Amino acid sequence: MADFDQMALVAFLQAQNCSNLPASWRHPDCSNDFLSAAYYQSIGKVLEEAKFHLAFFDDRLAIPDVYADDFRVTIKEGIRAVKLDPVLCATAMGLATSRLGIGVTYSTTYYEPFHVARTFQTLDNLLGGRAAWNVVTSLNSSEAANMGQDFIEHDLRYERAEEFIDVVRGHWRCWDDDALVIDKASGLFAHPNGVRRLEHNGQWFKSRGPFTVPRSPQGEPVLIQAGQSGRGRQFAAKYGDLVFVIYPNLQAGRKAYAVFKDELEASGRPRNSIRISPAVYVVVGESEAEAQDRRARYDELAKPIDGLVLLSEVLNYDFAQKPYDEAFSDEEMSGISGIQAFRDRVVTLSGRSNPTPRDFVTFTQRGTISEFPVFTGTPKSIADQMEEWFGTACDGFVIAAGHMPGSYEEFARLVVPELQRRGLFQKDYAGKTLRENLGIARTPVQGRLDGAR
């Protein structure tokens, strides 16, 4: 019995010059208008027409420049070489849509919690309760260098992030749901006892309040988390409403999904309080041959340098230092400080505790569409694959695009009707807010001080 009746669909977007696939800008049908608001607005309309639950923007606070300690190859090849502020691109998209959820990545390591609380609660109000925040701790030293800070070690980043979220959520909950009155006749703007100071004084942060933004129609933004380490998963189970994952295949996904949901239940949260969604690519064609041709085109466009640059970025290790077929020493392996789950996956899949750079390229497929599972085929065969995953390995999908906006247009035209016909995906939005649409509870903040009013 699935935890949810129908799957949630999330689009994996970037406020940058390419889709998740760095080579996408080279695709003949790719729109490269990424500096315009119209680009984000037109993608939003495609997604909303298709009834996607959420458009989600990833982010990093640096362009990839760990490889060879340089940025020129990144710029020349356009390997995620542009990073706009995702909140602004997402706002442009949100204002051109009315039901689509809008999620944005923001780091707990480089911003002040009060600032993040205010930005997201403002966005949530402007969009009528459709905002989500993807909570990341950030992963490489280029981000620290841009933000003028020292690079903080992995588990410590999570410790800090816990306090960060407590401050953000604390501020969000400093206004009662019904604090605002705005009654011209009586002259009462808002209940003075319906708003409180936070008075947070912790290990990492201090913040007083009162917060400056009232509750939104869904109360507060949906929280997304995508940690893959043990520490990250623990954090996700504690705070997440929506959890993004990367599963190498269905079998591994089923195992990880069951473990996560069991742990969630053991921690006192119901199994259906979090939706788990793995990142996948979908390459659809009217015929199997057309789908295979499209997939081959994506593979032809990807260059080996794309993978090396992005591996260096995500693992925070300069792959240019190391001969391609030389095994990493134990010391070098433990010095890799980026996404450790990535490193560990290479060890597992290659069967070697001291893999080579070639093994990293082969077993992560970084920079190609095969870095995530790829559903390729006709609409029917893709719906079959998604149906096989749904309920046993996931509660929805984060769909990455081979090129923009064509991949989403093809998915909307060919796959969505088949999923709807099978009852696996919504024909219309369930409500107005993202929480209603995802079937995720809101936290009431109400009437605590009723007697005092």
Ligand X SMILES: Cc1cc2nc3c(=O)[nH]c(=O)nc-3n(C[C@H](O)[C@H](O)[C@H](O)COP(=O)(O)O)c2cc1C
Using CA atoms, how far apart are residues 279 and 292, in angstroms rounded to an integer?
20
Q: Which is nearer to ligand X, 327 or 347 (CB)?
A: 347
Using CA atoms, how far apart are residues 127 and 44, in angstroms rounded to an integer?
13
List the x/- string, 343-382, binding to ligand X by CB under 6 A.
----------------------------------------
Q: Which is nearer to ligand X, 58 or 409 (CB)?
A: 58
Please select the residue that binds ligand X; options are 59, 241, 359, 371, rule is CB under 6 A.
59
- Give the three-state DSSP class for 367: coil
Please select the residue that binds ligand X; options are 119, 142, 228, 385, rule is CB under 6 A.
228
Q: Which is nearer to ligand X, 136 or 310 (CB)?
A: 136
Site for ligand X in 74-113 (CB under 6 A): 105
Residue partners of 265: CB distance under 8 A and separation at least 6: 271
Residue partners of 380: CB distance under 8 A and separation at least 6: 418
Q: Which is nearer to ligand X, 195 or 224 (CB)?
A: 224
Cβ of residue 105: shortest distance to ligand X, in angstroms? 4
State the virtual CA torsion across 174, 198, 107, 252 in degrees, nearest 10. Answer: -70
Does the footprint of ligand X cover residue 398 (CB under 6 A)?
yes
Cα separation values, 115 from 164, 206, 211, 214, 250, Å? 11, 13, 10, 15, 39
Q: Which is nearer to ligand X, 207 or 228 (CB)?
A: 228
Does the footprint of ligand X cover residue 280 (CB under 6 A)?
no
Cβ of residue 339: shortest distance to ligand X, in angstroms? 4
Site for ligand X in 184-213 (CB under 6 A): none
Largest CA distance in the chain: 78
Q: Which is nearer to ligand X, 179 or 401 (CB)?
A: 401
Please select the residue that binds ligand X; options are 339, 374, 412, 445, rule is CB under 6 A.
339
Using CA atoms, how far apart are residues 340 and 114, in angstroms rounded to an integer?
30
Q: Are 364 and 371 in contact (CB under 8 A)?
A: yes
Q: Which is nearer to ligand X, 59 or 410 (CB)?
A: 59
Please select the residue that binds ligand X; options are 58, 306, 371, 418, rule is CB under 6 A.
58
Q: What is the DSSP string of 84-135?
A: --HHHHHHHHHHT-SS-EEEEEEETTTS-HHHHHHHHHHHHHHTTS-EEEEE
Please select the residue that binds ligand X; options are 226, 301, 309, 414, rule is CB under 6 A.
226
Using CA atoms, how far apart are residues 264 and 391, in angstroms rounded to an integer?
16
Does the footprint of ligand X cover residue 165 (CB under 6 A)?
no
Q: CA geometry: angle at 158 spanning 156 and 162, to 5°?
A: 120
Does the footprint of ligand X cover residue 136 (CB under 6 A)?
yes
58 DSSP β-pair partners: 14
Cβ of residue 289: shortest distance to ligand X, in angstroms? 30
Contacts 24+ apart (CB under 8 A), 324-328: 324/356, 324/357, 324/358, 325/356, 325/357, 325/358, 326/356, 326/357, 327/352, 327/354, 327/355, 327/356, 328/354, 328/355, 328/356
Q: What does the block give as tokens for 365?
A: 């497929």
List the x/- string, 235-254, binding to ligand X by CB under 6 A.
---------xxx--------
Q: Which range in 64-72, 90-98, 135-143, 251-259 contacts ligand X by CB under 6 A?
A: 135-143
Sign of CA pseudo-dihedral 194, 197, 200, 206:
positive
Does the footprint of ligand X cover residue 279 (CB under 6 A)?
yes
Phi-psi region of 16 (alpha: psi -120 to 50; beta: other; left: phi over 0): beta
Q: Which range in 65-73, 96-104, 222-230, 413-421 contacts ligand X by CB under 6 A?
A: 222-230
Please select the residue that binds ligand X; options are 22, 227, 248, 439, rule is CB under 6 A.
227
Q: Which is nearer to ligand X, 93 or 246 (CB)?
A: 246
Q: CA geometry: angle at 133 spanning 127 and 136, to 5°?
A: 160
Site for ligand X in 251-270 (CB under 6 A): none
Using CA atoms, how far apart are residues 342 and 362, in angstroms rounded to an integer?
12
Please select the residue that binds ligand X; options are 125, 141, 229, 365, rule is CB under 6 A.
229
* Count of chain residues binding ligand X (CB under 6 A): 22
Q: Which is nearer to ligand X, 235 or 319 (CB)?
A: 235
Please select the residue that binds ligand X; options are 138, 312, 316, 437, rule is CB under 6 A.
138
Q: Which is nearer to ligand X, 25 or 235 (CB)?
A: 235
Using CA atoms, how far apart are residues 81 and 237, in angstroms rounded to an integer?
33
Q: Which is nearer to ligand X, 13 or 445 (CB)?
A: 13
Cβ of residue 422: shortest distance to ligand X, in angstroms? 25
Q: Which is nearer to ligand X, 106 or 114 (CB)?
A: 106
Helix (H) or strand (E) holding 136: strand 131-136
Residues that bind ligand X (CB under 6 A): 58-60, 105, 136-139, 226-229, 231-232, 244-246, 279, 339-341, 398
